[in-house]
């Protein structure tokens, strides 16, 4: 499920992938231009998106893409040794039963 922050330069809104978006993914660079088609449904302040309601026009914003690419390359290296000997422990969400995550972690490693 993707969450998109969209703006026309004046108004900002948040779009939520309500049904699979085949033309937009985590690999879509920031600043990519999209066009909303027809009447879109809004629930709790979120624009619900599916392939029939959005068209990708393309384009990108250079300074946003540079920052995004740097963050992506750093993310590959910063947590690369999770689960390895001496690496950081796996993330456990607050309030969750740690024993379950420990058992799953031991089973996966």
CATH code at position 8: 2.40.50.770
Residue 50 domain-assigned (yes or no): yes
Residue 48 lies in domain: 1-62
pLDDT at 107: 57
Residue 55 domain-assigned (yes or no): yes
Closest by Cα among 23, 37, 22, 28 to 5:
28
| Residues forming beta bridges with residue 54, ordered by sequence position | 36
Residue 7 domain-assigned (yes or no): yes
Residue 80 domain-assigned (yes or no): no
Q: Which two tokens stand for residue 90?
A: 């796996």
pLDDT digits (tens, 9 = 90+) for 38-53: 999 999 999 999 999 9
pLDDT at 102: 57
Residues of the chain with pLDDT under 50: none
Asked whether the whole model's pTM tops 0.75, one would answer: no
pLDDT at 73: 83
Residue 98 domain-assigned (yes or no): no
> How many domains does the chain divide into?
1
Residue 47 domain-assigned (yes or no): yes
Q: Are 85 and 91 in contact (CB under 8 A)?
A: no
| Residues forming beta bridges with residue 5, ordered by sequence position | 14
Q: Which two tokens stand for residue 30?
A: 């920031």
């Amino acid at each position: 499920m993707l969450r998109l922050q969209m703006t026309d330069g004046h108004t900002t809104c948040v779009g939520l992938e309500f049904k699979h978006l085949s033309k937009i993914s985590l690999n879509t660079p920031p600043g990519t231009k999209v066009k909303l088609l027809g009447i879109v449904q809004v629930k709790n302040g979120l624009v619900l998106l599916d392939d029939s309601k959005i068209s990708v026009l393309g384009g990108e914003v250079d300074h946003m893409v540079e920052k995004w690419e740097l963050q992506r390359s750093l993310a590959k290296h910063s947590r690369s040794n999770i689960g390895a000997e001496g690496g950081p422990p796996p993330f456990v969400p607050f309030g969750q039963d740690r024993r379950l995550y420990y058992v799953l972690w031991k089973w996966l490693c």
